[in-house]
Structure 1
Amino acid sequence: MEEEKMIQSAGAGEGRKIVVAVDESEESMQALSWCFTNLVSENSTNTPTTVYLLYVKPPVPLYSSIDAAGYLFSGDIVGKMENYSKELAHSVMNRAESVYGNFNIAAANNIKLEKKVGMGDAKEMICFAVEKLEADVLVMGSHDYGFFKRALLGSVSDYCAKHVKCPVVVVKRPNH
């Protein structure tokens, strides 16, 4: 599958490199839309721009062959979990491509779209990808969790803002 590429260094090519972290949430698609509206379509200098869609799959949990109740844990279940993870990544990338398609900006503004999929802890993989791809900016959505949820779950956007070396744009959920 095309999006199953491992994250590799992009090299020292010319042009802007924008990483947009996408997931199954509406907030990430809003961040992608914001990116195309505010960062890419205003590309008046016609600088070649590569927009990387980055999706991070959660790691597949490791199980012993016998579960807590003493039943043999089938390899089919692990395989189904892996298939679900691949299907989810494919679905997220399709949604992101449809957002991109709504802007019709690729040919006019010298825009290239690339899909990258990683696996692991989202905040660590996003930081790793931004460094390896030598991104100029990271764009991500905010789930806008309250204080307690953020304290328990942690904030991926907060972590990335503190650990990446490029500017980070966190697109908040619009108030409706």
Structure 2
Amino acid sequence: MAEEGRRILVAVDEGEESMHALSWCLKNLVFQNSKDTLILLYVKSPRVVYSAFDGTGYLFSSEVTAAMESYVLRVADSVLEKAKKLCNNVEKVETRIENGDPREVICDMAQKLGADVLVMGSHGYGLIKRTFLGSVSNHCAQTVKCPVLIVKKPKSTAGNV
């Protein structure tokens, strides 16, 4: 495996936290002239579809559904494009867009792609938000077989010189 280099999987999304984690990874984990492969993974969360029969939701036309899907793909492409620009000094960069629950998809892709390490950002949710929303990074750290590096974005030091 050393001759091939490491396979470093980085989960990216629209948040600053994932871009900070990618930047940290590029500065501290990926070495210039190495044979490492950096894999950028964006996961599209499934749309919540309501049934018209239970009276709780909406039924969308195929045009609206197609427009929503097109928008989500544009967002994914934009996030990956931004991430790839940060990786301009890395020789091997792959991108993936997958669908599903981010917790499950990230864990599955780490296994499927043979990741040597998984790098993720942390949103830094407090206990209550984490209880209701769940923590993707916590779930992956407990589930993934490879090492997981969770990079927490430092608190803003605006105003401090």
Scaled to the shorter chain, the TM-score interval is 0.7 to 0.9
Partner of 2:125: 145
Q: 2:69: which partner in 1?
A: 82
Residue of structure 1 in register with 2:100 after alignment = 120
Note closer, same or farther for the CA distance 1:33–1:74 as it changes in structure 2 (3 Å cut): same
Write out per-residue CA displacement over residues 112-139 of structure 1, whole angstroms, 9 at most, x where no aligned residue. Answer: 0000111000010000000000000000
Q: 2:111 aligns with which of 131, 150, 153?
A: 131
Normalization by structure 1: what TM-score?
A: 0.80
Kindly tell me: are residues 65 and 35 of structure 1, through their superposed partners in 2, closer, same or farther at Cα, counting changes over 3 Å?
Answer: same
Runs of 4+ in 1 over 2 A off after TM superposition: 60-73
CA contact (8 A) 1:64 1:73 kept: no
CA distance in 2, matches of 1:131, 1:69: 37
Q: Which amino acid aligns with 1:117?
A: I
Residue 65 to residue 82, structure 1, CA distance change in 2 (3 Å): farther
Matched, 1:55 2:55: no
Which residue of structure 2 aligns with residue 167 of structure 1? 147
Q: How many residues align?
A: 154
Residue-by-residue CA offset, 1:88-109 (whole Å, 9 max, x unaligned): 10111111012213xxx23xxx
Structure 2 vs 1, CA of residues 66 and 162 (structure 1 numbering), >3 Å: closer, same or farther? same
1:5-24 aligned within 5 A: 14-24=4-14
Counterpart-to-counterpart distance in 1, 2:58 and 2:127: 40
State the Cα RMSD in Å.
2.1
Aligned twin of 2:85: 98
Verify the 8 A CA contact 1:17 1:50 in the aligned structure 2.
Answer: yes
| Alpha-carbon displacement from aligned partner over 1:32-67 (angstroms, at most 9, x marks no partner) | 0001000013x6xx5411000000001133344679
CA distance in 2, matches of 1:147, 1:71: 32
User: Is the 1:142–1:170 Cα contact (8 Å) retained in structure 2?
Assistant: yes
**Structure 2 residue runs without a partner (length 5+):** 157-161
SS at match of 1:144: coil
CA distance in 1, matches of 2:77, 2:9: 18
Query: Is 2:23 the partner of 1:33?
Result: yes
Contact 1:123/1:159 (8 A) holds in 2: yes
Deviation for aligned residue 1:75: 1.6
- Equivalent residue number for residue 6 of structure 1: none
Unaligned runs of 5+ in 1: 1-12
